[in-house]
A and B are shown apart, each in its own frame.
Chain A
Amino acid sequence: MIDVLYFAWVRERIGLPKERVETSADTVSGLVEELKAREARYEAAFADTSALRVALDQELSDFDAPLAGVREVAFFPPMTGG
């Protein structure tokens, strides 16, 4: 089980900020495919992953990264701080 977090419009499209996910995916992309297969709202949120960023255990990563040992995955749009 891993914690999956969503922020900004990703959170709005999916309709929740955080959930526990049982996954057999090896990579972030694999997890995204599993989520997209669930429901239309996930399909809508992950329609264009080039518009998204991913963090693994609170470090920026990429969609090819392996999930082995990861406890927390977060998906969000490009950041707009400052």
Chain B
Amino acid sequence: MVVRVQEAPFDLGAELDAFASGRTDVGAQVSFTGLVRDDGGLRFMEIEHYPGMTEKAIGAIEAEAVRRWTLRDALVIHRHGRLAPGEQIMMVATAAGHRGEAFAAAEFLMDYLKSRAPFWKREVTAEGAAWVAAKDEDEDALSRW
């Protein structure tokens, strides 16, 4: 189980190659990558976080996913700082015996990271800067778990 919070980019291919490598009890590995989406006029995104709490919160979410779906391994990498459109913001990877557990755990991780890990996104366009508002459906998504 690994949690990394960093400003630097990550190498998705290298991370997935290394993830759960050497194990023979993994039948399914799922990954998700979040990217900076430009809906028009985005110059860059800035992500602020709460050092200390961020790592603890993600660690707790990850531990819960491992427990619920008996994951063999889990990885969360989340970036902060300034990111350009198209850049990778974050990734999760899950390794399980079967694909059902791996998919469900990855979705659970994403739902919880969205509204329970202390990150705040701010979008900067030619018109100025605005904090991204949390969506009600992101909060609602937690109730399915």
Contact = CB atoms under 8 A, between A and B. Distances in A.
B133 A80 contact: yes
Interface stretch (A2-10, A41-49, A62-70): A2-10
Question: Is the contact region of chain B dominated by helix, strand, or loop, or is it mixed?
Answer: mixed
Interface size for chain B: under 10, 10 to 19, 20 to 34, or 35 or more residues? 20 to 34
Contacts of B134: 77-80
Contacts of A79: 114-120, 134
Contacts, number: 70
Q: Which of A58, A74, A79 has the most CB of B within 10 A?
A: A79
Interface size for chain A: under 10, 10 to 19, 20 to 34, or 35 or more residues? 10 to 19
Contacts of A74: 50, 53, 118
A5 B48 CA distance: 13
Interface of A: 5, 7-9, 55, 58-60, 74, 76-82
